[in-house]
Chain A
């Protein structure tokens, strides 16, 4: 079993939809949680960086962390075609702090 599980999709939604992306994990030592966006032929771009449980909002993006369930989510409101990309969850903590463990990535397409 992988430490971090992420549904690879692909996910296809119409412009303006609310998108929900999710990851589950097994390592209870993880304390820092990130979401990255990766366009084709580019490196991952940091979208959200959160510590421990709770919510964080930045513009159209909201990150949620539920450590009791070992479950994290990223919500995208009013999705745009420019949001079409691969979304990667990543996490770190404990004795391996600094080593990011990634999910497989979810491919998202927002069509006009």
Chain B
């Protein structure tokens, strides 16, 4: 039973560029949440999707956007990249429209030069 998978594992971009990160949830899960984890810090909630709609959003600017597809997979898009966007981006999935524990993937490490 495959867990949460994320791609790519590493990404290097320059300031001002745009990036798309991808996530496939664990089998049987319908909800995807995205988190940003800076070095030495706990993850910070970006947003959550189920039924292909954004259901909750954390304190992140509109440069961060997302999408959920009918097969429950999800994308995180970040526009106009800043140096401060360098972080580990984690995807978590959960069952029951978010009503169960969240299981995380290994993340995408994004470096901005």
Beta-carbon contact of B106 and A98 below 8 Å: no
Beta-carbon contact of B90 and A43 below 8 Å: yes
| Interface locus among A13-21, A63-71, A72-80, A101-109 | A101-109
A36 within 8 A of B: yes
Partner of B58, one of A43, A45, A99: A99
> Can you name the residue of chain A whose Cβ is closest to the Cβ of B9?
A41
Interface residues on B, range: 20 to 34
A100 within 8 A of B: yes
> Can you name the residue of chain B whose Cβ is closest to the Cβ of A42?
B106
Interface residues on A, range: 20 to 34
Partner of B41, one of A41, A90, A105: A105
Report A's interface with B, CB cutoff 8 A: 4, 6, 8, 34, 36, 41-46, 49, 88, 90, 96-105
Report B's interface with A, CB cutoff 8 A: 4, 31, 33, 35, 40-45, 48, 55-56, 58, 90, 92, 94, 98-99, 101-107
